[in-house]
């Protein structure tokens, strides 16, 4: 059985104008990394209760997905830059 090659388009890398219109205003390709409370505690060398206290007092921003609590990489970096050396 012979196969035919796919037809070549003008530029296979750049999106078409209709694709650009659909994604206008949205950031694409950036998926934030989220950490669990346990992972943050291990990274920083503190107990999970300390991380929960930081979240409860508003020092560390956390996101709740259903019953799961997650800390975004960007929020953890912001917390560390504000509290470095304290």
Q: What is the 3-state secondary structure (H, E, C) of 9-37?
A: CCCCCCCCHHHHHHHCCCCCCCCCCEECH
Residue 3 lies in a domain: no
Residue 48 lies in a domain: yes
Domain at 63, CATH number: 1.10.1660.10
Residue 44 lies in a domain: yes
Burial per residue of 3-32, b for 16 or more beta-carbon CB atoms within 10 angstroms, e otherwise: eeeeeeeeeeeeeeeeeeeeeeeeeeeeee
Between 10 and 81, the higher pLDDT residue? 81
Residue 10 lies in a domain: no
For 44, the domain range is: 32-83
Residue 43 lies in a domain: yes
The pair of three-digit structure tokens given for residue 53, joined into one six-digit string: 């206290």
Residue 10 has pLDDT above 80, yes or no: no
Q: What is the pLDDT of residues 53-67, one digit of tens each?
A: 999 999 999 999 999
Residue 24 lies in a domain: no
Q: What is the pLDDT of residues 26-46, one digit of tens each?
A: 666 777 799 999 999 999 999
* Number of domains, the chain: 1
Residue 61 lies in a domain: yes
pLDDT of residue 39: 96
pTM (two decimals): 0.63
User: Under 8 Å CB-to-CB from 55, ≥6 apart: which residues?
Assistant: 37, 61, 62, 69, 71
Residue 75 lies in a domain: yes
The string of DSSP letters for 48-59 reads HHHHHHHHHHTS
């Amino acid at each position: 059985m012979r196969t035919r090659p796919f037809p070549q388009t003008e530029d296979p890398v750049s999106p078409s104008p209709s694709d650009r219109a659909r994604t206008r205003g949205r950031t694409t390709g950036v998926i934030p990394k989220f950490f669990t409370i346990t992972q943050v505690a291990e990274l920083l060398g503190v107990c999970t209760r300390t991380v929960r206290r930081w979240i409860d007092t508003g020092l560390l921003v956390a996101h709740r997905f259903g019953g799961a609590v997650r800390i975004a990489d960007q929020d953890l970096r912001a917390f560390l830059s504000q509290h470095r050396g304290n």
